[in-house]
Amino acid sequence: MLSKEIDWPQTQQTFSSVQTNGDTSEVIDLLWTGGWDSTFRLLQILLHEKKIVQPYYVVDSTRNSLGVEIYFRNVLKEAIFARYPQTKNFLLPTIYINIDSIEPDDEIQQAYQDLKKYVPLGNQHEWLPRFCKQHQIYGMEMSTENGSTPEELWVNSRFLKNHFSDDPQTLCERDFFLYQTSKKLYKYFRFPVIHFSKQDMLDEAQKNDWLPILTKTWFCYQPLYIPVKGYVACGNCVTCKYLKRIDFDWRIPFYSKWIQDLRKFIKKVS
């Protein structure tokens, strides 16, 4: 079931166009998690491209960060509207997707399993294509950066960069298999920020004065609650460690680092 923040029973389908001030504008379907990459893309669309955005968010009750992510998405939305009031006409209410409502699909599941033999992939690369296929969404934007993780490197492969425009007849047997398999998963998506690293986004954000927004984004999988401070990044989960690796750990509070050092010390002593 698709669930919207407001009036969701009237909008069980995706938008192809929206009437705004007498003009019919293209609507961009965007997976918006409230993280750095997807929020950067959201600002690009709203402020540079001036197009309407239909955000999607997948509700996975097994994620420890679920409630915090939703909270910070609302913080971000309020901050964007306060700083850029004109965007109120261009950011549609979020469509929330219960992950358990996504129907199984044998073809996509098999393609995912086949591709995982070559590339380590998170399970979202299996259920997101199922969701898009189920609701016939093509062109869903996935904000994967030009990074260094296996998933990001794969998304930056030529097949996905050129949206499968290769002539399959020119490919060797292995590449033909990867081409056919990955197309079953990724033909529903666009990857608009694959040419941007986190540092590129930071440089662009500083140039456009977007940092007051982007510094409110959320990334941690294991949030810590600290009295007075509220929820903060743990400094020890996979995303926090990734930020450390790319010298982006300025986003992790110093007191989170102290807590992790204290935990390590207690564990060592005990």
Asked if residue 15 has pLDDT above 50, the reply is no
In a domain, 195, yes or no: no
Q: What is the pLDDT at residue 49?
A: 96
Write the pLDDT tens digit of every residue in 88-140: 999 999 999 999 999 999 999 999 999 888 887 889 999 999 999 999 999 99
* List of residues 6+ apart from 38 with CB closer than 8 A: 30, 31, 32, 143
Q: How far apart are CA 141 and CA 28, in angstroms?
A: 8
| Residue 200 forms part of a structural domain | no
CA distance 260 to 270: 15
Output phi, psi for 120, to 5 deg: -65, 120
Identify whether residues 57 and 178 lie together within a single domain: yes
Closest listed residue to residue 47, CA positions, set 214, 215, 219, 251 = 214
Domain-embedded: residue 241: yes
**Has residue 51 been placed in a domain?**
yes
- Whether residue 214 is contained in a domain is answered as no
Domain that holds residue 136: 2-190
Query: Is there a single domain that holds both residue 172 and residue 226?
Result: no
Model confidence over 206-232: pLDDT tens digits? 999 999 999 999 999 999 988 888 899
CA distance 75 to 202: 20
Domain total of the chain: 2
Higher pLDDT, 175 or 113: 113
Spatial separation of the C-alpha atoms in residues 224 and 121, rounded to whole Å: 27
Residue type, 144: T
Q: Are residues 182 and 108 in the same domain?
A: yes
